[in-house]
Amino acid sequence: MSDHAESRGRRWVVLLLCWASFTMTSADRSAWGPASAEAGAALGVSLAGLGAFATAYYAGYVVASAFGGVLADRLGGRAVLSGSLFVAGAFMVLFGSSPSAGAGLALQALIGLFAGADYAAGVKLVTAWFGERRRGTVVGVFLTATSIGTVLANAVVPRMIEWYDWRASYHLFGGVSMALAVLCLLLVRDGASEGRAAWPDPRPLLADRDLLLLGLAGFGGLWGTYGFVTWSNTLMVKGGGVDPVTAGGVVVLFGIVAVAGKPLVGLVTDLLGRGRKVPASVVLLYFALALLVFGTMDSAAGFLVVAPLLGLGAYLYSPLMVAMVPGLSGERLTGSAAGATNALWQLGSVTVPLVIGAVFQATGSFPAAFAALAAGPLVGAVLMAFVREGGREGGREGGRAGHREERREEPSVKANRGIG
């Protein structure tokens, strides 16, 4: 086999394992939604207090996102991907044996702290192995992991609770995550263009207006997406009068439409070559409207009809926004930029569980809770209008924030750009 053919085969292995790893951490994250009512009862947690567990997870996740990207730029995506996934899986197993609410909160934060690093590592790996021409498509494939993880959690956890208990689902997901981490360590290889000679200087990213706006817009999007993932099961059971298995089925429909939608929207924008900002803004507006419509439903049939339409809005903006990051930052700082923007995005995930819990407990209103969720993507759509998108080939000057870093690269590193 020629070196070129081997490289082409290797990149698909890298994409597959990055996707599988992100799928498992997404399933780990989404497991709390369908497990929360049973777990809360077992641990003595009130309805409003259930949101604190999701917030604890996302607090750790935000910290990991910010620093995990820097580690990926320095140590390489392979080491960070496999190491973070293994430790996160171990803490999932421990959470499944949690003896108290306090211990559970601490373990949720630790799960998030390690799981959060795999996103930036995965983005760095897939953008190193695939060039700009296919970036939207491969990022769309990679990000199907979040929706498939949601589908997996909502398909498996209610059944595990029905057959065993909520703890069994955490033991299962944690064990699978640890096994997959070992596989990643053995089979994943870092891209030739990563250039890890020294600790990267992420300071130029902090001054980049467009990366900041992109981060804040993603905050609004994830406010809606993970607010729904965290609270929809409980809200449908408590406020919509449906049984837990049906509620899980609604969320499965919500997530499954994105499996085809994410790669498709990436492929279409790649082929059109007209940028990704405007489509992302349109999707966010649609998402806000769909959340408002879902909040007016009052039967299982209504939830099942609207759920797939809602899922399109909840997930299709993310591959467009993630694919914009390397063009704004430059390839050398892709990990740091992906981690920093994801940290801002995930702040929406940190704050929304507590806010929605408080809104529903104070009002008892299903529509009010979903109106609060819709506010996030609406603000995100407005902010996206002010982002100045990078050029189609490598962004503005190869990424304005990373331009000074790019000029200091060794010629051998530049020669390896654009693999595939």
Q: What are the structure tokens assigned to 153, written together?
A: 């959690």
pLDDT value of position 199: 53
pLDDT higher for 183 or 40? Answer: 183
Place of tokens 């992302």: 280
| Mean local confidence (pLDDT), 308-337 | 77
Q: What share of the chain is helix, strand, coil (3-state, %, to 5)?
A: 80, 0, 20
pLDDT higher for 397 or 217? Answer: 217
Judged by average pLDDT, the poorest of 20-24, 205-209, 314-318, 366-370 is 205-209
Q: Model's pTM, two decimal places?
A: 0.67
The 10 Å Cβ neighbour count of residue 218 is 30
| Mean local confidence (pLDDT), 338-357 | 77
Question: pLDDT, tens digit, for every residue of 105-133?
Answer: 899 899 988 888 888 888 888 877 876 67
pLDDT value of position 327: 66
Judged by average pLDDT, the poorest of 51-65, 84-98, 125-139 is 125-139
Residue 230 corresponds to which amino acid? T
Helices within 96-165 (DSSP H only) = 101-115, 117-129, 135-163
pLDDT band for 394, please (50, 70, 90 cuts): very low
Rounded percentage of the chain residues whose pLDDT exceeds 90:
17
pLDDT value of position 76: 79
Place of tokens 């529509």: 367
Q: What are the structure tokens assigned to 256, written together?
A: 């499954």
**Between 277-294 and 244-272, two packed helices, what is the crossing angle to 10 degrees?**
160
- Helical (H) or strand (E) element with 347: helix 334-363
In this predicted structure, the answer to whether residue 213 has a pLDDT above a threshold of 80 is yes
In this predicted structure, the answer to whether residue 420 has a pLDDT above a threshold of 50 is no
In this predicted structure, the answer to whether residue 74 has a pLDDT above a threshold of 80 is no
Cα angle 238, 239, 241 (rounded to 5 degrees) comes to: 75
Q: What are the structure tokens assigned to 74, written together?
A: 């320095």
pLDDT value of position 132: 66
pLDDT value of position 330: 61
Label residue 82 exposed, middle or buried (CB < 10 Å: 0-12, 13-18, 19+). buried
Question: pLDDT, tens digit, for every residue of 264-292?
Answer: 877 777 777 667 788 889 999 999 999 99
pLDDT band for 307, please (50, 70, 90 cuts): confident
**How confident is the prediction for the chain on average, in pLDDT?**
78
The 10 Å Cβ neighbour count of residue 415 is 11
State the first-to-last Cα distance of the chain, in angstroms, to the nearest integer.
Answer: 16
Task: Tell me which DSSP letter residue 198 carries.
Answer: S
pLDDT value of position 392: 39
CB 146 within 8 A of CB 22: yes
Domains of the chain (ranges; CATH) run 7-193+200-408 (1.20.1250.20)
pLDDT band for 411, please (50, 70, 90 cuts): very low
Torsion of CA 150, 151, 152, 154, to 10 degrees: 80
